[in-house]
Structure 1
C-alpha cells in the first residue's frame, strides 16, 4: 500500500477514535490558559501527578470519584497529534522533586499530553455495559502570550496600529515608548522599503515589549510571538511594528501603497503574520476545546501597582474573546465542540495566609466579572477558586507585639533561605488607584516545598476541587 494511503488511513482511524469517545462522552479536550508566570506548567504537572500517584496520602477530599472509591488508576498514553511535541512531564516532575526543588522551565512552545483515567461508573448508562470505563483527557500547553495575538485576526493593520498607538501613549507605557514613537515620526511611510530599517525598528519594538512584560510586569503584549518567537526567531514575518502616524497620512494613498513601500511591506507582513502564524495556531488548537481553566496570578500585579493590575484585567478579557463557549449536546460534542465549563483559578494562594483565600477568590471574581457575565448568559457553568498546584509554603502563627498573627513560612526563590512573614492583606474588591497609596504589597516568590518523592502526590491547595469541577461530571 502506498505511503500516502497509509497516512490517510491512520488519520481516519485517529479521527474515528476521537469521535467514538466523544459520542459516549468519554473524552475531554482541556484548555489550560494563562499568561506566562501564571503557573501553567506547574498546574499541568500537578494535575497529572495527582492522578497517576493516587494513594492513601492523596488529599482528594472533594474529588468524588476518588472519595467514593470508584477511581481505579490513571496513566499517560500516547497523544493523538504526533506532529506536536510531547509535554515534558518527567522533567517538570523531576524539577519539583529534586533537593532543593525548583520550578519547572516555563513554556516556550506548543506541547501536548494525553492521560487515560480508568474508573467505575456509577450513574451513567455506561455502567450497564462495563464495570470499568476510561476517560481520555487531552491537554495542550502553549505560551500564554501567544493567546493575546488571537484578537488581531479581526483587525486590519491600520486598526491594530491605531489601537496599539493608543496603548503606547497611555501611562505607564508612554515614558518608555517615547523613543520608539519619535523614531516612527521620523520615517517616510511611502519611501521604498529598506529591510534593514524594518529589522532595526522591529528589534527596538521587541525590546520595548520585553521591557513592558519582564521589567514592568504588564500583561497586554502584542504580538506575543515577538517576546516568545519559538521556531520563528529571526524570520522576516516577525519584523514589523505598528505605524503610529496614521492620522497624518492620506488613507486612500495608504490603501494603494505597494508592497515595495515601507508602509506596504509593514501591512504585508502583518497580514502574513495573521494568516500563517495566528490563524494556523487558532485552527490547530482552539476549535475543539470542551473545558477550560484560566490561571491568573493576581499577587504579582498587586505588587507592581495599579497599571499592572488593570493590564491583567484587559488581557484576560482579550484572551476569552477568542474561545467558543456554549452548552453542548450529543451532535455538537461530535462535530462542533464548545467550552461548557470554565474555571477561573487564582494561583499562588499559598503565598498568602489561609484567611486571605476568600479575599483572593473574590478579587479574581471581580477581575473577570465582564467575562463571567457573558458566559453566564450563554449558560456556561463557571467557578472561581484560589489554588496552589504545588505548595511552596506552610502556614502557622507567630507572636507580634503580644498578639498571634497568621504567617507563611517557606524558602525564598532567590536564595532558598527560609523566611517567615505575614504577607499582608489581599483586597476583597478591585482596588482603586488610590489604594496603592495606603497599602504596600510585598508578596514574596517562594521555591516549591521539598517533595516526599517523585512517585508521591505533590502537596497542593484545592486541586481536588479543580478535578471535580473539570472532570467529575464525566466520571459519574
Structure 2
C-alpha cells in the first residue's frame, strides 16, 4: 500500500514538473562518487552558505533549503553519502570508495517559485530530485541487444589488434583447448570465462576502456553467477550446436545475459531517466598515450549510441520519460592550471562530436563543461626562466606536497606525434582539507546544477 501511495505521489509530482531523475554515469575512475557526494553536499548547505553563484535559484536566495528523503525504489542500494563524507573528513582526507553497482539517493529541494502557475499553489514549491549512479561500462552492453552470439563473437575477435592481441594471449591459448562440440564442461567454461575476464581487466589497467561485456569487470551482485560465465569463440554459425554441448551452453548464457541483465537494466533503470550527466576523465588517457585516448573516445561513442533521445513533453514525462538534457563534464579540472580549462572543454567537445550531431538532430539540449567535484589543488604561480608560470599546489596520494605544471591540454584530438613531442603529466592528488560544517570546495558544480535542474527551480 505504501509503495502504491508513493508511486501515485511521484506521478503527481511528475505531472507538476516537480520531480526529476538525474542519472550520473562515466567510465571507471571518471569521478562519479565524488560528483554525487559533492552535488548532495552543496545542496544540503544552500540554507547556510552562498557557494553556488552560478545556480540562479541559489544566487537569488530563492532556495529555502534541502534535505534527504528516503528513496522510493527499495530494491536499489542506497548511495553511500555518509561513508563518502567520513572519508573526505578523515584525519587524512581520502577519495570516497567508488561504487560498483547501481545506487540512488533522493533529495527534496524547497524553493520560492517564479512561475505564475507554481505561485498559485503556494509561496514555496518542492523539487524531488532522484540521483542515480550507474557504471558507464554497463552502457557498453546495450548494443548486445541487437547482436546474436555469432555477431558478438565476430565483433570481439575483430577488435583483437595491437595491444589487445598481446593482452589476450593467455585467454586465446586456453580457448584453443576447448572442444565446442563436446558435452558441456561447466568447470572448463568457468575457468575460460575467468581468464577472459582477466583479459578485460588487463585492458582497463592498460587504459583501454571499450570492454564487453561490461558486467564482467563490474559485476555488482552478479559476481560468480553462471550468467557471467561465457566468452567469444569461433564456430560455424550456419550449423546448429548439439544440445548440451559447450557451444550450446555458451549461446544460452549469452542469451540469458541479453534478456535478464542487459534488457532488465534498460527496462528498470535506464528508460526511467529524465536527464543525464556523463563524466569524462580526459586527463588520464592523455597521460596514458595514443591508444588509450582513442580507445576511450570509441567507448564514449558506443555509450552515446545507447541513449534514448526524445523531448520530455508533459505526456511523455508522465508515461514514458526520456532523456531531454545531456551534460558532458570533463572532470578533475583542478588537475590542470586554470588557463587550460578552455582547452579541456574544447577537447571534450571534439571527443563527443558525433553524439552532439545526433542530439542536435533530435532537438536534445546538450552541453559540455569542465569541473572539479571536490577540489584537490590550489592554483598558483612559479618562477621559471625569470618568468611567472601557472602551477598547481597539492598533496599527492602518498602525502607528498607538490607544486607542478602538468602541461598543456590540446584543443583538438591529438595525433600520435603529441605524445612523442609533448605528452601530459598527470599527478593524482588527494582532496583538500575541509571543515565538517562547510560545503566541500569545488569548481563549477553550481554550473552543472544550473544546467541540470535550473529550469525546475523557477
Q: TM (normalized to structure 2)?
A: 0.97
Partner of 1:223: 213
What is the distance in 1 between the residues matched to 2:377 and 2:187?
50
What is the distance in 2 between the residues matched to 1:235 and 1:382?
38
What SS class does the counterpart of residue 212 from structure 2 fall into?
Answer: coil
Aligned pair partner of 1:85 in 56, 77, 84:
77
1:462 correspondence with 2:454: no
Between 14-23 and 346-355, the greater mean CA deviation after superposition: 14-23
Aligned pair partner of 2:190 in 187, 195, 199:
199
Between 16-25 and 48-57, the greater mean CA deviation after superposition: 48-57
- 1:52-63 to structure 2, matched below 5 A, reads 52-54=44-46, 57-63=49-55
Aligned pair partner of 1:420 in 392, 400, 403:
403
Distance 1:365 1:333, change over 3 A: same
- 1:68-107 to structure 2, matched below 5 A, reads 68-107=60-99
Aligned pair partner of 1:45 in 37, 44, 63:
37
1:294 correspondence with 2:278: yes
**How far off its partner does 1:10 sit?**
3.1
**How far off its partner does 1:448 sit?**
0.4
What is the distance in 2 between the residues matched to 1:271 and 1:148?
16
Aligned pair partner of 1:239 in 222, 229, 249:
229
What SS class does the counterpart of residue 183 from structure 1 fall into?
Answer: helix
Partner of 1:378: 362
What SS class does the counterpart of residue 434 from structure 1 fall into?
Answer: helix
Aligned pair partner of 1:433 in 403, 416, 422:
416
Unaligned stretches of 5+ residues in structure 1: 1-8
**How far off its partner does 1:68 sit?**
0.8
What SS class does the counterpart of residue 28 from structure 1 fall into?
Answer: strand
Aligned pair partner of 1:334 in 318, 342, 346:
318
What is the distance in 1 between the residues matched to 2:175 and 2:99?
33
Between 52-61 and 234-243, the greater mean CA deviation after superposition: 52-61
- 1:66-465 to structure 2, matched below 5 A, reads 66-168=58-160, 170-214=161-205, 216-243=206-233, 245-246=234-235, 249=236, 251-253=237-239, 256-413=240-397, 415-453=398-436, 455-465=437-447
User: Contact 1:259 / 1:268 at 8 angstroms: preserved in 2?
Assistant: no
Residues 196-250 of structure 1: per-residue CA shift (max 9 Å, x gap): 2111111110111111112x0111111122122222222211111111x24xx3x
Runs of 4+ aligned residues of structure 1 deviating over 4 Å after TM superposition are none
What is the distance in 2 between the residues matched to 1:400 and 1:276?
59
Unaligned stretches of 5+ residues in structure 2: none
Between 82-91 and 65-74, the greater mean CA deviation after superposition: 82-91
What is the distance in 2 between the residues matched to 1:404 and 1:101?
30
What is the distance in 2 between the residues matched to 1:342 and 1:124?
27
**How far off its partner does 1:259 sit?**
3.9
Q: TM (normalized to structure 1)?
A: 0.94
**How far off its partner does 1:30 sit?**
0.4
